[in-house]
Amino acid sequence: MKALCWNAKNDVRVETVPDPKILNPRDAILKITTTAICGSDLHLLDGYIPTMKPGDILGHEFMGEVVELGSEVKNLAKGDRVVVPFNIACGNCWYCKKKLWSCCDNSNPSPDLAETLYGGPPSALFGYSHMFGGYAGGQAQYVRVPFADVGPIKVPDGLPDEKVIFLTDIFPTGYMAVENCNVQKGDTIAIWGAGPVGQFAARSAFLLGAEQVVVMDDVPERLQLARDAGATTVDISQEYVHDKLMDLTAGRGPDGCVDCVGLEAHGATLDHWYDMAKVKIGLATDRTHALRQTINSVRKGGTVSIPGVYGGFLDKFPLGAAFAKGVTFKMGQTHTHNYLKPLLDRVQNGEIDPSFVITHTLPLDQAPHGYEIFRAKKDNCIKIVLKPD
Amino acid sequence: MSTIQDTVRGYLRSNDSAVKGDKNVGETERLISAAAGTLLLKLGLHHRGLSGLAGIGLGAALIKRGYSGQCDLYQYLGVSATQPASPKSYFDHGIHVKSAVTVDKPADELYAFWRKFENLPRFMGHLKSVTVLDDKTSRWVANGPMNSDVQWTAEIINDVPGELIAWRSLAGAQVDNAGSVRFLAAPGGRGTEVRVNLDYIPPGRSVGKWVAKLFGEEPSQQIHQDLRKFKQLMETGVVATINGQSKGSKLD
């Protein structure tokens, strides 16, 4: 089959590789009909995530048709059309039983490094480094899905791929990030980053009853897309974020601040250039400009929610401000499994059409080009879906 | 923890008879010793100089060792191949490792799986096979360095259904070892705490510790990984793996 392989930093290629096989009785094999490039895949391309190995197949947003089943998978049948969550969960451990799927104890076959680095290994992910299990991803014609009796959700034939593919990651990720802010009547939710997750966070905030949604970015077409959803936008290259947010909330500050940027933040301020310099010479691993602003801006007793990916150590982290204001932090990989059914219902009810975010549809062969334009935000690129055939 | 270790060690102590004058070399090893000694002696007699002399000396010592079944070096190290390893050997030359994992299954179920020793290679990475010989004893085959097999016979020395199993290797083991596993209810319905203690004496005794490290075998890491696999197997019925999955040509 054809698959998008990571070979080195800044080097991804479509190669012909062996087809996947059933390796465990709880596996399934899917023929992929639609897959996508995620903003977090760019961290892999840029070499920010350790333990990638040359030849690793990328991709954690995918859906397709079941073509083969292990003997223990009883809830699916060949021919079923399914969407697969990006994190892999066993469904049996204490964490899965508590619905903390992204903390699954059992899905990661190589948790040693994560255990050493983080003090406890999180669940495995598709196509996202060996620290997170090293599972082959779904930017390919076929994929092996472990614990296929737990993750995949069947989708009705009437809904096109484009409306359901994002249940794999970015829709639940944006949704849970806002849900973590515990939205109350009259709340303002401020969102840093108008990439795909930020877009879904903005729409989810309205779905969850926010009064006002403010989105920060510096890419005009992305700000426009957020305005289309009814959000107020702040161009960070033109305005002071903190001042603007205080003005929009008459001095209260946003009730919930959502960092949809993560470890590769851009900014026009002094601390951003400080972060850039430290990361370049290896004194820090993550650039945290966006996160600092969330803490500074959030109201007293408010919530900072972090769906953006962080990997290592932060510098000049304003914990004093967070402490003084009694901020609640919520973060982590999305417990995707919890959101598949409720969000599929919302799509079916017509409350949201997730395909709004797609700007490019490319054949799998052109995936490397897709990574390039997505990273450079060229050609007004916001979200790319790939078609393997 | 200490109670189990004390039980094991106490039992070992009562069987400790590696005293001066006893045979302390196993039958097979005696034959090999004698044969190697004869060869060295022959070679030594054909060579002049210091190396020839050394050959003669070492050859003679090996023949004596083979003939008498006594080894001065083993004597010095407190080693016997005709008795289970002594507690003194475990204390002086052994490696002690322990690890624990919480498994979300009842203790009885976990005990029953572990007690069928044939199951152990399913989650213990270094074990090739375990064959149960009778109620008490079993034959263990493990992967040794450089594709060799390491074998020993083990006996159960303590067995409380649903609670604990303790075992030790018998005389003649290539690697003397003793171990125990306990199953304890975790608080608040969190399943069962599985606590494992292992003692073993690597070949070559204390030198072996360094050799083992040199070969990259880290025993405490090994048992930790084995317990994690045990948990996966018990909770999910499978061991998570990526071995054999699709990958690009650049991957090894």
Domains of chain A: 2-169+334-387 (3.90.180.10), 171-331 (3.40.50.720)
Contact A23 B245 (CB under 8 A): yes
Q: Which two tokens mark A329?
A: 């932090």
Write down the pLDDT at residue A50. Answer: 87
**For the residues A252-279, what does the mean pLDDT come to?**
79
Residue of B nearest to A13 (CA): B248
Sequence-distant (≥ 6) Cβ neighbours of residue B237 within 8 angstroms: A25, A26, A72
In Å, how far is A53's CA from the nearest CA of chain B?
7
* Residues of chain B positioned with their CB less than 8 A from the CB of A59: none
**For the residues A80-89, what does the mean pLDDT come to?**
98
Q: With contact defined as beta carbons under 8 Å apart, do A138 and A84 qualify?
A: yes
> B-side interface with A, Cβ within 8 Å?
102, 104, 190-191, 221, 225, 228, 231-232, 235-252
Give the CA angle between residues B190, B196, B202 to the nearest 5°: 160
Neighbours of B50 (CB within 10 A): 8
Q: Which is more confidently placed, B211 or A360?
A: A360
Sequence-distant (≥ 6) Cβ neighbours of residue B204 within 8 angstroms: B211
In Å, how far is B243's CA from the nearest CA of chain A?
8
pLDDT at A60 > cutoff 90? yes
Neighbours of B29 (CB within 10 A): 17
* Alpha carbon distance, N-terminus to C-terminus of chain A: 11
- Of B104, B242, B248, Cβ closest to residue A7: B248
CA distance A123 to A299: 33
Write down the pLDDT at residue B227. Answer: 96
Domains in chain B: boundaries:
2-11+83-236, 18-77
Write down the pLDDT at residue B24. Answer: 66
In Å, how far is A288's CA from the nearest CA of chain B?
33
pLDDT at B251 > cutoff 60? no
Residue of B nearest to A70 (CA): B238
Contact B236 A19 (CB under 8 A): no
- Of B241, B246, B249, Cβ closest to residue A19: B246
| DSSP 8-state code for residue A236 | T
Burial of B6 (0-12, 13-18, 19+ CB in 10 A): exposed
CA distance A155 to A164: 8
Confidence of residue B1 (pLDDT cuts 50, 70, 90): very low
Write down the pLDDT at residue B167. Answer: 95
Q: Give the residue carrying structure tokens 């007699």.
A: B45
Q: With contact defined as beta carbons under 8 Å apart, do A240 and A215 qualify?
A: no
Contact A144 B245 (CB under 8 A): yes
Write down the pLDDT at residue A273. Answer: 67
pLDDT at A188 > cutoff 70? yes
**For the residues A118-131, what does the mean pLDDT come to?**
95
Sequence-distant (≥ 6) Cβ neighbours of residue A349 within 8 angstroms: none
Confidence of residue B4 (pLDDT cuts 50, 70, 90): very low
* Residues of chain A positioned with their CB less than 8 A from the CB of B191: 94
Write down the pLDDT at residue B147. Answer: 77
Q: Which of A279-293, B56-70, B105-119 is least confident?
A: B56-70
Write down the pLDDT at residue B173. Answer: 84
Contact B250 A5 (CB under 8 A): yes
Contact B251 A23 (CB under 8 A): no
* Residues of chain B positioned with their CB less than 8 A from the CB of A124: 240
**For the residues B167-181, what does the mean pLDDT come to?**
90
CA distance A213 to B112: 57
Q: With contact defined as beta carbons under 8 Å apart, do A35 and A366 qualify?
A: no
Contact B246 A17 (CB under 8 A): yes
**For the residues B13-28, what does the mean pLDDT come to?**
51
pLDDT at B11 > cutoff 90? no
**For the residues B105-125, what does the mean pLDDT come to?**
96
E strand residue ranges, chain A: 2-8, 11-16, 28-37, 56-57, 61-69, 81-84, 87-88, 124-125, 142-145, 153-154, 188-192, 212-217, 232-235, 256-259, 303-306, 328-331, 360-363, 384-387
Phi, psi of B120 (to 5 degrees): -55, -40
Confidence of residue B3 (pLDDT cuts 50, 70, 90): very low
Element (H, E) at B235: helix B219-236
Burial of B85 (0-12, 13-18, 19+ CB in 10 A): buried
* Residues of chain A positioned with their CB less than 8 A from the CB of B238: 24-26, 72
pLDDT at B88 > cutoff 50? yes
pLDDT at A361 > cutoff 90? yes
CA distance A125 to A143: 13
Confidence of residue B48 (pLDDT cuts 50, 70, 90): low
Contact A23 B241 (CB under 8 A): yes
Q: What is the pLDDT of residues B232-244, one digit of tens each?
A: 999 999 999 999 9
Residue of A nearest to B243 (CA): A23
Contact A134 B242 (CB under 8 A): yes
Q: Which residues of A135-148 are buried (b: 16+ CB within 10 A; e: fewer)?
A: bbbbbbbbbbbbbb
Write down the pLDDT at residue B16. Answer: 40
**For the residues A287-294, what does the mean pLDDT come to?**
85
Confidence of residue A258 (pLDDT cuts 50, 70, 90): very high
pLDDT at A140 > cutoff 50? yes
Q: Which two tokens mark A336?
A: 């995707």
Contact B251 A109 (CB under 8 A): no
CA neighbours closer than 13 Å in the CB half-sphere of residue A117 = 16
CA distance A339 to A286: 29
In Å, how far is B247's CA from the nearest CA of chain A?
5
What percentage of residues in chain A have a pLDDT greater than 90? 86
Using CA atoms in the order A255, A261, A263, A267, what is the torsion angle rounded to 10 degrees? Answer: -90
Q: Which of B223, B232, B236, B243 to mutate to test the interface with A (most CBs of A within 10 A)?
A: B236
Q: With contact defined as beta carbons under 8 Å apart, do B137 and B155 qualify?
A: yes
Residue of B nearest to A18 (CA): B246
Q: Which is more confidently placed, B59 or A208?
A: A208
Confidence of residue B13 (pLDDT cuts 50, 70, 90): very low
Q: CATH number of the domain at B2-11+83-236, please? A: 3.30.530.20
Q: What is the pLDDT of residues A366-384, one digit of tens each?
A: 999 999 999 999 999 999 9
Write down the pLDDT at residue B75. Answer: 58
pLDDT at A96 > cutoff 90? yes
Write down the pLDDT at residue B200. Answer: 83
Write down the pLDDT at residue B81. Answer: 62
pLDDT at A308 > cutoff 70? yes
Contact B242 A97 (CB under 8 A): no
CA distance B40 to B46: 10
Q: With contact defined as beta carbons under 8 Å apart, do B194 and B101 qualify?
A: yes
Write down the pLDDT at residue B206. Answer: 54
Highest mean pLDDT range out of A127-141, A307-321, B170-184?
A127-141
- Of A25, A55, A93, Cβ closest to residue B238: A25
Cα B64 to Cα A24, B33, B76, B78, distances in angstroms: 56, 9, 16, 19
Neighbours of B193 (CB within 10 A): 16
pLDDT at B214 > cutoff 80? no
What percentage of residues in chain A have a pLDDT greater than 70? 95
Contact B235 A19 (CB under 8 A): no
**For the residues A247-274, what does the mean pLDDT come to?**
84
In Å, how far is B101's CA from the nearest CA of chain A?
11
Contact B245 A108 (CB under 8 A): no
Q: Which two tokens mark A183?
A: 């939205």
Residue of A nearest to B101 (CA): A105
Write down the pLDDT at residue B14. Answer: 41
Confidence of residue A120 (pLDDT cuts 50, 70, 90): very high
**For the residues B100-116, what does the mean pLDDT come to?**
98
Contact A17 B248 (CB under 8 A): yes
Least Cα distance to A134 among A42, A32, A254, A53 occurs for A53
Contact B248 A56 (CB under 8 A): yes
At B221, which amino acid appears? Q
Contact A133 B250 (CB under 8 A): no
Q: With contact defined as beta carbons under 8 Å apart, do A199 and A357 qualify?
A: yes
* Residues of chain B positioned with their CB less than 8 A from the CB of A93: 104, 231, 235-236
**For the residues A54-73, what does the mean pLDDT come to?**
98
Cα B121 to Cα A84, A183, B124, B230, distances in angstroms: 33, 51, 5, 10
Contact A94 B236 (CB under 8 A): no
Q: Which two tokens mark A49?
A: 């995530």
**For the residues A199-222, what does the mean pLDDT come to?**
97
pLDDT at A76 > cutoff 60? yes
Q: With contact defined as beta carbons under 8 Å apart, do B171 and B149 qualify?
A: no
**For the residues A96-124, what does the mean pLDDT come to?**
94
Write down the pLDDT at residue A310. Answer: 85
